[in-house]
Amino acid sequence: MGADHDMRAVMASLPVPDLEGAPFAVAPNLADAQVAIVTTAGLHLASDDSFGIFDPGYRVLPHGRDDVTISHNSQNLDRSGMMLDRNVVYPVDRLDELAADGSIGSVAPSHLSFMGAQSDLATILHDTGPQAAHRLQEQGTDVVLLTPV
Amino acid sequence: MHEVAARMPIPRGLYCQFPLGRPLGKPRDPEFQHEVLRAAFGLLDATEPTLATYPVVIEDEVDVALACPMPARLDPSLPAAVDEMRGLRKAFDRASGGIRAAVDPDVVEAALRGFTRVADDATPWDQAEIPDNPVTAGLVIRGYYEQAAAGLSEHVPGARSAESWFAQQTVTGKMLHRAQQAMKDAGAPQPFWFYVLPASQHRLD
């Protein structure tokens, strides 16, 4: 077993918030939907502030920008894959291809990134998370692809 | 994590047992990535909360250190880690096609000088002029080396094999092990020495 096996065992033992049931909505027709990516990889534009330790905020990634960087605070994830191919965590090129062949309606004008290494989820639950959701709704996003790391 | 997703719970989830940091599984494999996306988007047809499992498992390769050509020692007046880091600068700059590390090479060099004082000069960790804090400094060093590895490697390495190269085979990685041990022995706060290197690479007494 590799190092990820050990990390998964640690993560599985951590407490999670009680959200009292799964939020659920009937999905729109994918071929008509605007799709955005929300990742926890700690990505941001080179000109943006890096993620600080336990930073509960999010950064906006305009679609089409190539100057995407990572400042995720965890030592316990592989970065080499995304450094060779952004699509393994931030699949914007794959979404462009799906939009071109009509599998999805369109690609969102911007995507979002949080950073996964957190200690207190209250700010995300009550502040930055709802802000992010509102931003996605405002730009007309119908479907969100979450890519946790 | 499947266990976490099941306990939250989430409306639609596709559990992929891929290496941490590679949620679509395989870099530079668009066909595989599209297969994963098709499976994920297929969950939109579900009429109730659903947690499915993708049938392909990919393990990390922490036991197989990436083989990278290393720069020769060029300037003996420099700390060995700084000399090595400067020798990798072209590889760091040339890495392309992916997401870049948000690191400033000048900060990386300052961090290496600081950790070298701890590792080899018996300087107390909190007087070694490590920029920011040892956790952040350790991360920017690792980010620099992983991006350099991306610039050196002609193939897609297995997950964590670049991490193992950095921690086990580079001058800097070996120096950080000594610094980490010195910080632990000196009673530094646990997070400050623990997160200098990935937990999978610790070689502490």
- Count Cβ atoms below 10 Å from residue A144 Cβ, excluding itself: 16
ipTM reported for the complex surpasses 0.90: yes
Q: Where does residue B171 rank: exposed (0-12), middle (13-18), buried (19+ CB within 10 A)?
A: buried
Selected residues 113-142 of chain A with any CB under 8 Å from a CB in chain B: none
Cα–Cα distance, B52 to A73 (Å, whole number): 29
Cα–Cα distance, B60 to A149 (Å, whole number): 13
What is residue B69's predicted lDDT score, i.e. its pLDDT? 85
What is residue A1's predicted lDDT score, i.e. its pLDDT? 56
Which single residue is written with the structure tokens 């599985």? A12
Ranges of residues in chain B with a pLDDT under 70 are: none
Residue type, B33: Q
Q: What is the pLDDT along chain A (149 residues), one digit of tens a residue?
A: 578 988 888 888 888 888 777 789 999 999 999 999 999 999 999 999 999 999 999 999 999 999 999 999 998 899 999 999 999 999 999 999 999 999 999 999 999 999 998 888 899 999 999 999 999 999 999 999 999 99
| A2/B62 CB distance under 8 A | yes
Cα–Cα distance, B120 to A88 (Å, whole number): 39
| pLDDT tens per residue, range A56-82 | 999 999 999 999 999 999 988 999 999
Cα–Cα distance, B163 to B66 (Å, whole number): 8
What is residue A133's predicted lDDT score, i.e. its pLDDT? 97
Compute the residue count for chain A.
Answer: 149
| pLDDT tens per residue, range B101-136 | 999 999 999 999 999 999 999 999 999 999 999 999
Tokens encoding A92: 């914007």
* pTM reported for the whole predicted model: 0.95
- Count Cβ atoms below 10 Å from residue A118 Cβ, excluding itself: 15
| A80/B59 CB distance under 8 A | no
| B199/A7 CB distance under 8 A | yes
Selected residues 5-44 of chain A with any CB under 8 Å from a CB in chain B: 5-8, 11-12, 14, 16-17, 19, 21-27, 30, 39, 41, 43-44
- Per residue, what are the HEC states of chain A? CCHHHHHHHHHHCCCCCCCCCCCCCCCCCHHHCEEEEEECECEEECCCCCCCCCCCCCEEEECCCCCEEECCCCCCCCCHHHHHCHHHCCCHHHHHHHHHCCCCCEECCEEEECECCCCCCHHHHHHHHHHHHHHHHHCCCCEEEEECC
What is residue B3's predicted lDDT score, i.e. its pLDDT? 81
Closest CA to A117 of B104, B6, B191: B191
Contact residues, chain A, for B8 at CB < 8 Å: 16-17, 19, 22
Beta bridge partners of A66: none
